[in-house]
Structure 1
Amino acid sequence: MLTIKELLSIAAADFTFNSFIYIAFALPTFLFFWVLGKNFFKARRIQAKKRATKKNIRRELFFSMTTLAIFCIIDVGIFVAAENGWTKIYIDSTGYPWWYWGVSVGVMLIFHDAYFYWAHRLMHHPVLYKHVHRIHHESIDPSPFAAFSFHPLEALVEAGFYVIFIFIIPIHLGAIILWQIIQQGLNVIGHMGYEVYPRGFTKNWFFRWKTASTHHNMHHAKFEGNYGLYFTWWDKWFGTEFDDYHETYDAVHERIDQAKQTTGTAKDMKF
């Protein structure tokens, strides 16, 4: 049985790791787009007429770090469960083909997106929204630091997917770490407030199923729609994608093209 000291060491390492990934994605993105390049990337702003305040950004940081602390506590519990052989997490890869490692990451992303969509819609129930999800939606014009800005109860709900998944689907520890890195990176992109995907992305036969930065930004601006995390198919299948999603995305690229014509720079890559 693990001692209190060992559990605290595991918790400290886990919190440090997750905080490092969060800061490694959010801070450079914020500095690059919101501070150093705020004039250069002005045309890429999705909400062209709005701007988050310093107070909002401090709130996002506070609740994001609180969320990571809650994730840390859950991870310690999962570590104990894994040590006792109660989960499907494995380290020795000899029992599975080489390709399963990569496939399991993809499966985890797809399942997480499905879980997130329905949990997100649940969070928009009037009672849950008022007392829980409202914290996240105080970021009407989100910054990269809003990625994990949740009420503690919502943080527990968000972690529910991970807890369920590792008890059902065999997955390598390395695949879990890669999933954590991918989901944190994509989460920051979804909250960065700037469009980084190229013109035609949302209408391309393949890439239209991937959420652009505009997709989730519109959810923060308009609330009732665009609930998906990584992919757009749940919103498309259940009619919750905003009708003006493509129009809003294209409008950003119109501003980008106009800015480039003014400065004489080359146009974006197109699909």
Structure 2
Amino acid sequence: MSNVLSTREQAAWSLSGDWLLVVVNLWKQFQPEYGRNTPFGSQENNATDLTWLERHRLQNVQYFILLSLLISFSVFYSMGGYFQYFYYIKRREQSEEWKCQPNKFLTKENERHEFIAGSVNMACGATVSGILACFILNGGYSTLYYSASERGWLYFVLSGPIYYLYIDGVSYYLHRTFHNPYLYKKIHKHHHRYHQPTAFSAVAMHPVEFFMYQAVMALPIFTVPIHAGVFLTVLMYFYYYGMIDHSGVKMDAIWPWQPPSTFHDNHHQYFHCNFGFNSLLFDWMFDTLRKEGRVYGEDIFGGRGRSIENDKEK
């Protein structure tokens, strides 16, 4: 399992391009005046002389988007390719040793589908992230702050776990909502065609669902004061674990709050249970953890399965 762990350094970069905010953060640290002297921020310039991009703090946005696309795809393909080559190709015949669902693999059609769907969402997400990073770097409004002492060290320390719980909680509710019979059949089923997910499945979903999750994660940087380092650390962890828990490779929990990779793999295998992503907390609170002795299936909604006795009666 050491080969899996060694990918953590690669995965520390966000999948959808939010890693670009790292650049914004560092630049703001060393160039705090940047953005105040841009054409938009200058009081000496007449707004009518500015281009549309300058008026909206998006000058040079094309370079941000291009860089975001380049790095995001490099990381997505390299990490997904790592799992694909070292496990699904080289060790395919030994899947009992490493696979969450031994001897079960996606069809070639679904492998192509997840790769294409994931790539399309990656392109869209990286583009939006590049635009946001450009906007913030050029002095656009956000609630990110850059000095840990600005709002006090207690606020700085507590904001990390609070932001983590916010994302985990809202993602749980959003994910569970997509398991409503109507939304599941119209939207979320696109993601559940991958009964044996791989790392490429992490962002292979309906675009509406993809952008809902992206919006949940990005909302705090425009609504609640949050240190850029805290925001990025939590966000990168979520992206990192998103690929790990879709990889199909058995991996024990590293941190006390983190479930093993089989937790989410079971979600794809049994459908309507284990709705959480990065912890067991909300599934435990709302009794939606998969249980032995219960029957689960794509047509058994609600998150609690069905008793074996009731299933036999049917």
Is the shorter-chain TM-score for this pair beyond 0.5, marking a shared fold? Answer: yes
Is structure 2 residue 178 aligned with structure 1 residue 140?
Answer: no
Distance 1:99 1:60, change over 3 A: farther
**Range with greater deviation from structure 2 (77-86 or 136-145):** 77-86
Is structure 2 residue 75 aligned with structure 1 residue 21?
Answer: yes
Which letter does structure 2 place at the counterpart of 1:213?
Answer: S
Q: Equivalent of 2:117, from 59, 63, 71?
A: 63
Q: Is the helix fraction higher in 1 or 2? A: 1
Which letter does structure 2 place at the counterpart of 1:155?
Answer: F
Could you tell me how far 1:70 is from its partner in structure 2? 2.3
Which letter does structure 2 place at the counterpart of 1:58?
Answer: R
Which letter does structure 2 place at the counterpart of 1:57?
Answer: E
| Gaps in structure 2 of 5+ consecutive residues | 1-39, 41-52, 294-314
Which letter does structure 1 place at the counterpart of 2:288?
Answer: T
Which residue in the other structure is 1:12 paired with?
A: 66
Q: Equivalent of 2:205, from 121, 125, 150?
A: 150
Which residue in the other structure is 1:194 paired with?
A: 249
**1:21 and 1:184 in contact (8 A); partners too:** no
The 2-side partners of 1:172 and 1:62 are apart by 35
Which letter does structure 2 place at the counterpart of 1:142?
Answer: P
Which residue in the other structure is 1:127 paired with?
A: 182
Distance 1:67 1:126, change over 3 A: same
Aligned length: 238
Could you tell me how far 1:218 is from its partner in structure 2? 0.8
Is structure 2 residue 272 aligned with structure 1 residue 224?
Answer: yes
Aligned partner of residue 249 in structure 2, secondary structure:
coil
**1:78 and 1:163 in contact (8 A); partners too:** no
Could you tell me how far 1:97 is from its partner in structure 2? 5.3
**Range with greater deviation from structure 2 (233-242 or 17-26):** 17-26
Aligned partner of residue 191 in structure 1, secondary structure:
coil
Q: Deviations over 1:178-220 (max 9, x none)?
A: 334322221111111121217xx9xxxx83x422111101110
- Output aligned runs, 1:156-235, within 5 Å: 156-197=211-252, 207=256, 209-235=257-283
The 1-side partners of 2:146 and 2:199 are apart by 33
The 2-side partners of 1:15 and 1:101 are apart by 31
The 1-side partners of 2:228 and 2:70 are apart by 17
Which residue in the other structure is 2:143 paired with?
A: 88
Is structure 2 residue 128 aligned with structure 1 residue 74?
Answer: yes
Q: Deviations over 1:23-53 (max 9, x none)?
A: 3432212222212233445323221242112
Which letter does structure 2 place at the counterpart of 1:131?
Answer: K
Aligned-CA RMSD value:
2.7
Normalising to structure 2: TM-score of the pair? 0.67
Distance 1:103 1:23, change over 3 A: farther
**2:196 and 2:248 in contact (8 A); partners too:** yes
- Output aligned runs, 1:19-58, within 5 Å: 19-58=73-112
Could you tell me how far 1:120 is from its partner in structure 2? 0.2
Bigger-Rg structure (1/2): 2
Which residue in the other structure is 1:244 paired with?
A: 292
Distance 1:102 1:219, change over 3 A: same
Could you tell me how far 1:74 is from its partner in structure 2? 2.9
Aligned partner of residue 234 in structure 1, secondary structure:
helix
Which residue in the other structure is 1:117 paired with?
A: 172
| Gaps in structure 1 of 5+ consecutive residues | 246-271
Aligned partner of residue 223 in structure 2, secondary structure:
coil
The 1-side partners of 2:74 and 2:228 are apart by 18
**2:275 and 2:283 in contact (8 A); partners too:** yes
The 2-side partners of 1:223 and 1:55 are apart by 20
Which letter does structure 1 place at the counterpart of 2:102?
Answer: A
Which letter does structure 1 place at the counterpart of 2:129?
Answer: D
**2:194 and 2:201 in contact (8 A); partners too:** yes
